[in-house]
């Protein structure tokens, strides 16, 4: 496992973070014991960075993560970096809420769900247009001063929103979506993060399953899986992108790797990206993903990937308001 310093936080973290969105109930049913085994196995293989969120099952994901790592969190707390997110309330009349009161409530609930005294990295899950950046940033600084959280980041923010936040206190990390079919951060967001030494941990490097090589054009998801309602996983858009994945799979095989490993290695090769967040519900899957951190793509490899994905269709993902 390779490690890196996460921007201005100074935290030394594994280049693969174990993500837990899939453990909140929005990705269909799963075996909780197998998921906890996967978390522990990731730790055994060198992962020291784990990302979750209050909104993933309203504490369910946080509880599973905390329970899986309970013994090490008790005895080697400083060896593990726990990141969580707050500031949204899906299904409510106000799905984005980064107000002082809601953030404080969220931090307290996350501490209880994780059974921790402090959170290493607390991130605003989505920008809230109805709360001034000054209120959000100052509320988080207050909780840093109180020792409830150590570092502050944002997720799904653009460059302008980060600049507004930074008028009050530094944005230490950014968590944006980024993969071969979703590259919107490249124009302004990633350059801003590089310029300001913001640690970037990207989510969905596998395109929420598109880049695993396991989907077919007639794939059917459980109704509780958000992808069952997303345009990226339906019709012509899905067929075109899976055709691209087929070509990427052949390209990867020629280089002795799987297409999912290729996709993760590509993300990690992009300037300014520190960490790729990868989820898993089984130990076998996490082993395959972690191996990608040790892969190196040449400039010729990267150029070849660009030629292949030029035939793909850009996609979006889920938001507090639903899916596109």
- 133-149 burial: b if 16+ Cβ within 10 Å, else e: bebbbebbeebeeeebb
Closest listed residue to residue 53, CA positions, set 65, 61, 64, 44 = 61
For residues 311, 317, 323 and 324, what is the CA-based torsion angle, rounded to 10 degrees? Answer: -30
What distance in Å separates the CA atoms of residue 138 and residue 263, rounded to the nearest whole number?
37
Q: Do you know the residue count of the chain?
A: 324
Catalytic residue set: 56
What distance in Å separates the CA atoms of residue 102 and residue 16, rounded to the nearest whole number?
30
Distance linking the first and last C-alpha atoms of the chain: 35
Pairing of strands 81-86, 119-124: parallel
Pairing of strands 149-155, 49-51: unpaired
Which residues have CB under 8 Å from 32's CB, separation 6+? 23, 64
Residue 299: φ, ψ to 5°:
-60, -35
Structure tokens at 147: 């020792």
CA angle 19, 271, 128 (to 5 degrees): 55
């Amino acid at each position: 496992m390779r490690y890196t310093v996460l921007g201005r936080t100074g935290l030394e973290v594994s280049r693969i973070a174990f993500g837990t969105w899939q453990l909140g109930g929005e990705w269909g049913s799963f075996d909780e014991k197998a998921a906890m085994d996967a978390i522990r196995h990731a730790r055994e293989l060198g992962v020291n960075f784990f990302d979750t969120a209050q909104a993933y099952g309203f504490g369910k994901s946080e509880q599973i993560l905390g329970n899986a790592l309970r013994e090490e969190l008790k005895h080697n707390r400083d060896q593990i970096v726990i990141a969580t997110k707050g500031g949204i309330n899906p299904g409510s009349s106000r799905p984005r809420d980064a107000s002082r009161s809601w953030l404080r409530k969220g931090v307290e609930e996350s501490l209880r769900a994780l059974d921790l005294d402090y959170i290493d990295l607390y991130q605003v899950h989505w920008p809230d247009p109805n709360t001034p950046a000054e209120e959000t940033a100052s509320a988080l600084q207050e909780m840093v001063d109180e020792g409830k959280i150590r570092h502050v980041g944002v997720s799904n923010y653009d460059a302008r929103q980060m600049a507004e936040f930074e008028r009050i206190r530094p944005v230490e990390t950014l968590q944006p979506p980024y993969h071969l079919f979703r590259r919107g951060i490249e124009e302004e967001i990633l350059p801003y993060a590089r310029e300001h030494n913001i640690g970037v941990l990207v989510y969905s490097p596998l395109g929420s399953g598109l880049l695993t090589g396991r989907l077919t054009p007639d794939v059917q998801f459980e109704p509780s899986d958000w992808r069952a309602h997303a345009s990226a996983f339906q019709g012509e858009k899905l067929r075109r992108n899976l055709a691209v994945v087929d070509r990427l799979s052949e390209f990867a095989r020629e280089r002795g790797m799987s297409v999912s490993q290729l996709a993760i290695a590509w993300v990690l090769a992009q300037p300014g990206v520190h960490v790729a967040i990868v989820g898993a519900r089984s130990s076998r899957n996490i082993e395959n993903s972690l191996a990608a951190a040790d892969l190196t793509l040449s400039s010729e490899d990267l150029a070849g990937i660009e030629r292949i994905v030029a035939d793909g269709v850009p996609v979006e993902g889920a938001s507090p308001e639903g899916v596109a």
